Amino acid sequence: MKILVAVKRVVDYNVKVRVKSDGTGVDIANVKMSMNPFDEIAVEEAVRLKEKGVATEVIVVSCGVAQCQETLRTAMAIGADRAILVDTAEELQPLAVAKLLKAIVEAEVPGLVMLGKQAIDDDCNQTGQMLAALLDRPQATFASKIELVEGHLLVTREIDGGMETLRLVLPAVVTADLRLNEPRYVTLPNIMKAKKKPLRTLKPADLGVDLTPRIKTLKVSEPPRRSAGIKVPDVATLVSKLKSEAKVI
């Protein structure tokens, strides 16, 4: 079984992002970029499935600017076998990415498609679901455990109040949650090997996909700043302030 994993290049999780002063978006000039952490978890899981003998090949795909190659090389250093970059500088919204992935899935015919549950930059949490719908395949989102049992995929999900286990018919689409695994450290020899693994570059036109954004961003702004707290001398003042000023009791 082939596993196809989609990975996105996003602003690194350590970076404190800043909204551009003109309100058109987040300033990413000179900012460190890296693989979306949930996608990294998806890659790790796919590689573990391959190491267990469940999967035969792990293919990673990314859509975006040329620098996404670095993200794909990282995925291959974790253990993916080969990579595909859909090279475009256009704005990519989840629907467009899902359509690009659909075209690649149709060409590669993987038994399982994995994605991160959402990207930490736009927090859309849509691409996996849209892809499953476009492909008309079963989907399991927010996976915290995956097992292949008698040809079916058992996926455990963390839901309010407990765990839910789904049994999926393959081929299927699964999105990874935080506790699915802890990605390994990439080692220098594996980084070296990753540089030699095949990376194919396609253009959106090669896949016949229209990328036109369907959603328009009106404005991006920072959350309001929390005003400074005050110290109160005693409980009575606290209660009266909660009543008269905060109006919460």
Partner 1 sequence: MTPKHLVEAYGPRESMAYDVVVVGAGPAGLATAIRLKQLSAEKGHQLSVCVLEKGSEPGAHILSGAVMDPIAINELFPDWKQRGAPLNQPVRGDDVLVLSEKRATRMPDALSPRNFHNDGCYVVSLGAVVKWLGEQAEGLGVEIFPGFAAAEVLYSSGGAVVGVATGHLGLGKGGEPTEDFQLGMELHGKYTIFAEGARGHLGKQLIEKFALDEGRDPQSYALGIKELWEVPADKARPGLVVHTAGWPMDRSTYGGGFVYHLEGNHVTLGLVTGLDYKNPWLSPFEEMQRWKTHPAIRTHIEGGKRLGYGARAICAGGLLSLPKTVFPGGALVGCDAGYLNAARIKGSHAAIKSGMLCAEAAFEALAAGRSGDELSAYPIAFVGSWLHKELDQARNFKQWFKKGSTVGALMTGIEQWLLPQLGVKRPPWTIHGRTADHDCLRPASEMPQIAYPKPDGILTFDRLSSVFISSTNHEENQPAHLTLKDAAIPVAINLARFGGPESRYCPAGVYEFVKSDDGSDRLQINAQNCVHCKTCDIKDPTQNIVWVAPEGGGGPNYAGM
| Binding flag, residue 232, partner 1 (CB under 8 A) | no
CA 197 to chain centre: 22
Q: Mask of contacts with partner 1, 22-61, x by CB under 8 A?
A: -------xxxx-x---------------------------
Count of positions on this chain that bind partner 1 (CB under 8 A): 20
Taking contact as CB under 8 A, which single stretch among the options 90-98, 142-150, 166-174, 182-190 is the one that binds partner 1? 182-190
Q: In what order do the strands lie in the sheet with 172-176?
A: 162-169, 152-159, 139-149, 172-176, 112-116, 2-6, 57-64, 82-87, 199-202
| Binding flag, residue 15, partner 1 (CB under 8 A) | yes
**143 phi and psi angles, rounded to 5 deg:** -75, 135
R_g over Cα of the chain: 21
Of 21 and 244, which has the nearer Cβ to partner 1? 21
Partners of 57 in the β-ladder: 2
CA 27 to chain centre: 20
Q: How far is CA 68 from CA 8, 18, 89, in A?
A: 8, 22, 11
CA atoms within 13 A on the CB side of 174: 34
| Binding flag, residue 235, partner 1 (CB under 8 A) | no
Which ranges in the chain belong to alpha helices (H)? 37-51, 68-78, 94-108, 127-135, 188-196, 235-244
User: C-beta of 13: minimal distance to partner 1 in Å?
Assistant: 8
Of 191 and 215, which has the nearer Cβ to partner 1? 191
Taking contact as CB under 8 A, which single stretch among the options 40-48, 142-150, 187-195, 240-248 is the one that binds partner 1? 187-195
Q: Say if CB 26 and CB 121 are below 8 A apart.
A: yes
Of 26 and 207, which has the nearer Cβ to partner 1? 26
**245 phi and psi angles, rounded to 5 deg:** -95, -50
Of 18 and 200, which has the nearer Cβ to partner 1? 18
Of the candidate residues 56, 165, 187, 237, the single one contacting partner 1 (CB under 8 A): 187
Q: Say if CB 132 and CB 138 are below 8 A apart.
A: yes
| Binding flag, residue 178, partner 1 (CB under 8 A) | no
Taking contact as CB under 8 A, which single stretch among the options 56-64, 170-178, 186-194, 201-209 is the one that binds partner 1? 186-194
Taking contact as CB under 8 A, which single stretch among the options 117-125, 152-160, 179-187, 209-217 is the one that binds partner 1? 179-187
| Binding flag, residue 185, partner 1 (CB under 8 A) | yes
Of 183 and 204, which has the nearer Cβ to partner 1? 183
Q: Say if CB 92 and CB 38 are below 8 A apart.
A: no
Contacts with partner 1, residue ranges (CB under 8 A): 12, 14-16, 18, 21, 29-32, 34, 182, 184-185, 187-189, 191-192, 228
